[in-house]
Amino acid sequence: MKRVVSDITKTAGIFILLFVPACLLAEDGYDLWLRYKIVNDAGRLAHYRQTVTGININAASPTLLAAKEELEKGLNGLLGKKLPEHNLLQNGSVMAVKAAASDIVSRVISKELLASSGKEGFIIRSAVVRNKRIIIITGNTDISVLYGVFHFLRILQTQQSLADLAIQSSPSLQLRLLNHWDNLDRHVERGYAGFSIWNWHTLPDYRDPRYKDYARANASVGINGVSLTNVNANAMVLTRPYLEKVAALAAIFRPYGIRVYLTARFSAPIEIGKLSTADPLNDSVQHWWSNKAKEIYSLIPDFGGFLVKANSEGQPGPQNYGRNHADGANLLADAVAPYQGIVMWRAFVYSQQSNDRFKQAYEEFKPLDGQFRKNVLVQVKNGPIDFQPREPFSPLFGAMEKTPLMMEFQLTQEYLGQGTHLVFEAPMFKEVLQADTYVKGKGATVAKVVDGSLYNHSLNGMAGVANIGNDINWTGHLFGQANWYTLGRLAWNYELSSEQIADEWIRQTFNNKAFLVSTVKKIMLSSHEAMVSYMTPLGLHHIMGNGHHYGPAPWSDNLPRPDWNPVYYHRADSAGIGFDRTSTGSNALAQYSAEVRHRYEDPGDCDEKYLLWFHHVSWKHIMKSGRTLWEELCYKYYSGVEQARLMQQQWNQLENDVDKERFEHLRMLLAIQVKEAIWWRNACLLYFQGFSKMPIPSAYEQPDKTLEYYKNLRFPYAPGN
């Protein structure tokens, strides 16, 4: 009897091990949103297995081979069985083929639809051909087929129907880039996910398999370019040994439609070329850059071009020689033009000469409109200061009719809680893209500036400062992956809603359980507003710790330049708080169109999200809620903390719906986020209370530490500095 019980127990134990739901097995996050776990809905799985019985794809190029590998990997995982290759049409075939290589495509898809798809757009169509029910994934190029394969797998991962598919999708933007701020020593500036994934020491000979997985992830969301190195550039990356290393990465990325770009240090002709000058109008300098471009393209025929930070934060540039930004950009543009290369010249500039850092980029670049070569984009940060939790759109958007402007977002959360806060950035990005510049009347949105349609520019793009490192889950904080995903999806189609992007990412990253999807979506969609409330409500900005930008330090005023200090931005005094940017102050509002100025110039009518961006407001000013400004400030800080606590509570409800490893990862990080939200709230309100002379309302929990305690906190080894 004992033996029988023992055998039953063992058998039961085996049974339990075999039938643990796949979604609850421990995961480390490495697979990102490309997990391809078996579909856990029996009805949907049956539908997929009945509809898809095999793969028909002729891997005639490295890109089509990549498409075949991905389709096999994805379908075999999602359907839970290995699918055969169909060389002939059979019921249930998924045919992935470039349009020109198949007469079947011409029978099913019109020439007009193919023409409208362009070089990268794809078409997915259910069809009956020769009495066989098939699914066709096609496009005009090999890369369009690969993009279509990834989208088809996304449909299955998110458990949508495969009946009567009729999908056509083309990218909104031509250039869809990640900007890595990675140094050659593998330190990542503003990086919170470990060291750089580029191991320059072992390249070009050791090609880490992770590089291919990185390329797969980017291609899956349509990212087609990668700037490998920090904008605070090192000229050494342009030397032959490093170019050979870059060429090795380019070879891995090429099948996935990804071009490599490099940051060019403007003084490279001096530092590695042994010239005595880097003057852009000097013949020897021009000749040096022309030869350097020739060398690069001999190693990397599809090299994308250069990203440049110049005359900003100590970086050398054309102004060192009495020249302007157009002179500098055109020097490099002429060098790469014979190879169809481009130059992305960053507009992040500020000097002590301006009376408001807000105004600097406009003041330097607006007068140069029309002076840049055709293969130059001016890359503009979303806001006029520096990736703050909330900024009004940069006034440069819409101001340069003759120059294409490229959007620069920041995925790595330098000012958004760094590596410890869950902040889904899609709502912030959408807020900027949907903002109306009114430069050509209503509807002249920032998105239309960026895609080139407002002023008929064919060259256009969007970049995101990468949040990727060599941590096993790529981004340190698991939900940082959602921001990487968001960048690709919005650059492909900026009309996508934050809700749809979140929904896709959740279903692919976790599972399709209704309670989990709805709960995590609530967390994600509320996270940005919560963070703004407990960090920088009502238009406060740049009140983070100096240097490392970690934690609150609104009192900080010890750096040599005024605009490096938080006190420069909030200007709190006994009368009130905020930066007057109207005609009575710095007059930065004058850089916007009349309609935008009208929206913000009156403190009584100003959107309160931006009130302290544009106005110095009395502590007793009555807000739309009926509260005074001081009371509203308290309300916002406290509501932000409560929202962070709610996010924590919501996540803790999911313990049985998420694998233990990732559940614990988020549980611990959300506890840190709540702790740091309280830190922000208490430190800021105690400091500003010294000016308002008003109490924190007694209904709120009172700070349990003094202002001096918070002022004395030090973080000499905060990451990412």
The 3-class secondary structure across 60-80, one letter per residue, is CCHHHHHHHHHHHHHHHHHHC
Q: How do residues 23-62 score in pLDDT, each as one tens digit?
A: 456 799 999 999 999 999 999 999 999 999 999 999 999 9
* pLDDT band, residue 12 (cuts 50/70/90): very low
Percentage with pLDDT > 90 across the chain: 95
Tokens 């400062």, located at residue: 465
**C-alpha to C-alpha distance for 17 and 152, rounded to whole angstroms:** 32
Q: Which residues lie closer than 8 Å to 115 by C-beta, 6 or more apart? A: none
Burial of 403 (0-12, 13-18, 19+ CB in 10 A): buried
Rounded CA-CA distance 336/326 in Å is: 15
Q: Is the confidence at residue 22, as pLDDT, over 70?
A: no
- Three-class secondary structure of residue 582 per DSSP: coil
Residues found in the chain: 721
What's the DSSP call for residue 393?
P
Quick one: which H or E segment has residue 635? helix 629-652
Cβ-contact 227, 182 below 8 angstroms = no
| Contact in structure between 373 and 329 (CB atoms under 8 Å) | yes
Is 207 exposed, middle or buried, given 0-12, 13-18 or 19+ CB atoms closer than 10 A? middle
Cβ atoms of residues 229 and 281 within 8 Å:
no
DSSP-derived letter for residue 56 is E
Residue 618 clears pLDDT 50, i.e. is over it? yes
Look up residue 39 and give its DSSP letter.
Answer: P
pLDDT tens digits, 333-357 = 999 999 999 999 999 998 767 789 9
Does 21 score more than 70 pLDDT?
Answer: no
Q: What is the mean pLDDT of residues 170-182?
A: 98
Domains and their CATH numbers in the chain: 21-169 (3.30.379.10), 175-509 (3.20.20.80), 533-579+616-711 (3.90.1330.10)
- What are 110-166's pLDDT values in tens digits? 999 999 999 999 999 999 999 999 999 999 999 999 999 999 999 999 999 999 999
Give percent of the chain with pLDDT exceeding 70. Answer: 96
Distances (CA, A) of 276 to 282, 292, 571: 11, 17, 44
Task: Give rounded-to-5 percent helix, strand, coil for the chain.
Answer: 45, 10, 45
- What gap in Å lies between CA 689 and CA 679, rounded to an integer? 15
Residue 198 pLDDT greater than 70, yes or no: yes
Of the residues 414, 431, 451, 503, which is catalytic?
414
In angstroms, rounded to a whole number, what is the distance separating the alpha carbons of residues 721 and 718? 7
Of 189, 271, 334, 386, which is the active-site residue?
A: 386
Is residue 20's pLDDT more than 70? Answer: no
- 8 Å CB contact between 598 and 643: no
Choice among 313, 499, 557, 607 that is catalytic: 313
3-state secondary structure of 445: strand
- Mention every residue, 6+ apart, whose C-beta is less than 8 A from residue 117: 123, 139, 140, 144, 168, 170
pLDDT of 2 over the 50 cut: no
Provide the token pair at 195: 């060291």
Q: Is the dihedral of CA 707, 713, 718, 721 positive or negative?
A: positive
Residue 302, Cα to own-chain centre: how many angstroms? 24
Using the predicted structure, report yes or no on whether residue 479 has a pLDDT greater than 80. Answer: yes
Contact 325, 345 (CB under 8 A): yes
- Cβ-Cβ contacts under 8 Å for 183 (sequence gap 6 or more): 189, 196, 229, 230, 234
Taking the CB of residue 632, how many other CB atoms lie within 10 A of it? 20
pLDDT of residue 470: 98
Q: What is the mean pLDDT of the chain?
A: 95
Please check whether residue 78 is in contact with residue 48, taking contact to mean a CB–CB distance below 8 angstroms. Answer: yes
pLDDT band at 404 (very low <50, low <70, confident <90, very high): very high
> Is residue 137 classed as helix, strand or coil in its secondary structure?
strand
CA 10 – CA 230 distance, rounded (Å): 57
Name the nearest CA neighbour of 510 among 520, 501, 498: 520
User: Predicted confidence band at 77 (pLDDT cuts at 50, 70, 90)?
Assistant: very high
pLDDT, residue 24, reads: 58
Q: Is the pLDDT of residue 570 over 70?
A: yes
User: SS3 for 514?
Assistant: helix
3-state secondary structure of 449: helix
Look up 208 and say whether it is catalytic.
Answer: no
Strands (E) in 486-562, as ranges, are none
Write the burial class of residue 587 (CB in 10 Å: 0-12 exposed, 13-18 middle, 19+ buried): middle
H or E stretch covering 709: helix 707-711
414: annotated active-site residue: yes
d(CA 293, CA 212): 26
Q: How many other C-beta atoms are found inside a 10 Å radius of the C-beta of residue 232?
A: 15
Whether residue 489 is predicted with pLDDT greater than 50 in this model: the reply is yes
Catalytic annotation on 386? yes
Q: How far is CA 476 from CA 63, 384, 530, in A?
A: 30, 28, 21
CA distance 697 to 79: 58
Give residue 206's region: left, alpha or beta (phi > 0; psi -120 to 50). Answer: beta
| Sole residue written with tokens 């850059």 | 289
Sort 683 into a burial class: Cβ within 10 Å, 0-12 / 13-18 / 19+.
Answer: buried
Cis-peptide into 204, omega within 30 deg: yes
Give yes or no for a contact between 174 and 460, defined as CB atoms under 8 angstroms apart.
Answer: yes
Reduced to 3 states (helix: H, G, I; strand: E, B; else coil), residue 632 is: helix
